[in-house]
Chain A
Amino acid sequence: MKQIHLAAHFPGVNNTTVWSDPRAGSHIEFSSFVHLARTAERAKFDFFFLAEGLRLREHAGRIYDLDVVGRPDTFTVLAALAAVTGRLGLTGTINSTFNEPYEVARQFASLDHLSEGRAGWNVVTSWDAFTGENFRRGGYLPEDQRYQRAKLFLQAASELFDSWDGGAVVADKPSGTFLRDARAGAFEHHDAQFDIAGRFTVPRSPQGRPVILQAGDSEEGREFAAATADAIFTRHGTLDAGRKFYADVKRRLPAYGREPHQLLVLPAATFVLGDTDAEAEELAGIVRYQQVSGQTAIKFLEQVWNRDLSGFDPEGPLPDVEPVTGTQLAKGRAQTRMYRDPVETVRQWRELAEAKNLSIRDLVVEVSGRQTFVGSPSSVAEAINTYVQEDASDGFILVPHITPGGLDEFADKVVPLLQDRGVFRTEYSGTTLRDHLGIDRSADVAAAERKAR
């Protein structure tokens, strides 16, 4: 039987994170991060995951205020969490657009040392010019260069990670030999994006390089992941969609000389637990309406209609005005296909609302609901195991909807059931994140690259 991989995603700044619940705590105090990370480690999860934000989102020219706003710095939180955990992998998103390979490689190599081999990097390709306004280097890249920049960035960073030999630091006091080779860390990298040379300052870290995660569903994203990532971070609601995606990305691996187990498919997943399936369904309904307040529902529609709908009652019928095209009202959130064809989206939604007699808020709950696993602990354990055994995924990155205690019940009730089935570890067998994921390939990669030079 396949072993399941599980990770804990710190809840983010979108309407799936319920802040209005009395149990909802701070999204910025360090104690919240400690709570979630320690829960994940107690449950023997593979890793903790932290997303990144570089500009506050806007809606109609004003800062969006209905969801959680504010995030910490990824590297800083992960380094601090290394002090309060012992085995848990520590992964985070760092974009390749508003950073430089030398600095990012240095930070990840430092994190890998400071966590004794637990660092992971979710490489994202780009944000837009809106985000670029926060950076002195400014600007952004046209879409056709996004993956080129990301690829070259990762390539440059990998060269830096590999620029120190594992045995370079001798530190022999009697002979006075600190380094075996005075040229340790030497690098030179010239391509369409980067023109850099010098000496990397961080000796080879315990994992050699961080675990590479890649989020992305597009054709280019899949190909990029197949070529370079250790795990692909995705989102697929159904078993069938998951299986198709899984087969597709694993099929791409041989072209890069890689085995299927070298790229793990780890979809993001949410869950709602109850004592019984019926109770969980009922709770899930409550959560959906907590996630979609009346105000949130109106803002959600405004993104599609692209116009002010504040005069409409969220408990009433869908707006009888037509959507307008042009400059997007919403900035700083991922654009989905839905917004690209607003007229068609509105037509479908009206049809749906009429057929089911839905108010604005009901409709938004219906179309934006993203609860992956709803049920009793045993039903959820069964469903997760089915996804993994039937090759729809290799595990899940779980996104609780409550901060910071939203994973507690899962850890206490679902994890033991997976352990009973023999599909999830009861103890960590290794010390590094690569050990947990079973993807220790850094040595052959380094060797291959040295050979190629």
Chain B
Amino acid sequence: MNFDFSDDQKFLKGEARKFLEANSPLGRARGVLENPAKGYDADLWKAVAGQGWLGAAIPEEFGGLGLGHLELCVIAEELGRAVAPIPFASTVYFLAEAIMLAGSDEQKADLLPKIAAGEIIGAIATSEGPGATTAATLQATVTDGKLTGVKIPVTDGDIADVALVLAKEGGKPGLFLVDLAGEGVAREAVKTLDPTRDAAKLVFKDAPARRVGAAGAGMELVEQVFDRAAVLIAFEQCGGSDRCLEMAKDYALERYAFGRVIASYQAIKHKLADMYVKNELARSNAYYGAWALNTNAPELPVAASAARIAASEAYWFSSKENIQTHGGIGFTWEMDCHLFYRRSRQLSLVAGAPRVWKERLVSHLERRNAAAA
């Protein structure tokens, strides 16, 4: 048993932090926030690609670094801390993971090297409107290799080159690769709670689509991809949530009211202690998820759900209470508190809302119990 990252992995994390701090991360998030038409920070994206992070978990034969998922987890944590305004999750956690999991040899050879090199941006398109998408509600349809339908919102949909699209084929859900620069694709940026991340509405009309994985396996595949992404996103959430606690702590130690630093008031101390407790529970669940992801353990769906639920709760709590701790200044555009508040909402929803994951978790536990009985 060993419930910690290795020294090498911690070193990588330290290097990632130094690199991002040297590149003024919050300033970059703000740069995109104040000019959403940019979609993302292209310079940071190039720099991150230069570090090899995009291909951290991609095998060397496909141009990656061939490290494991644990390495990707520590990078994710730092990106989350920095509120990095880049399409890392869409491209790496979703597209690359889906291709590594279910792509054909040809799809792997085509896409993975481009992802590792930072040449293409990916996106995943499952949502079609309010509420969770299920096999029963799914509308988009592929007929004779041509996709028709509407997806909204698609994170990074406006800047991506390739999208993974959930659509019905022969009445059954499948997962498809669509070239967004190709024919039959119209895109339109949509405003979201977190403008530091791009989002779009995608309208497909007979757009050429290549299937990923087996026919009719789309729902299961999306679940598998979401499980993997959930663990990685949980690390981003932990990074952001820890940063909120640090910000709140630093501010509370500086700000005076009634002749004392506000950090000496119990109401504030207990609030910060609660942030700490939630962050640690999230971190512990995320570690277990990381291990399950890295070893492809059968408990991955359960571990990923727990990691996602705990991390969503921790980040929500600490991002909102960070603003509260800052008082009036915390509510201003100039303070960075809202960058985290926005990102916490984005990350909580991008791979399905916590409510959906709670339902999935309990269903898995029910099945596990039934199997044991």
Binding between chains A and B: no
Task: Using CB atoms and an 8 Å cutoff, list the residues of chain B in contact with chain A.
Answer: none
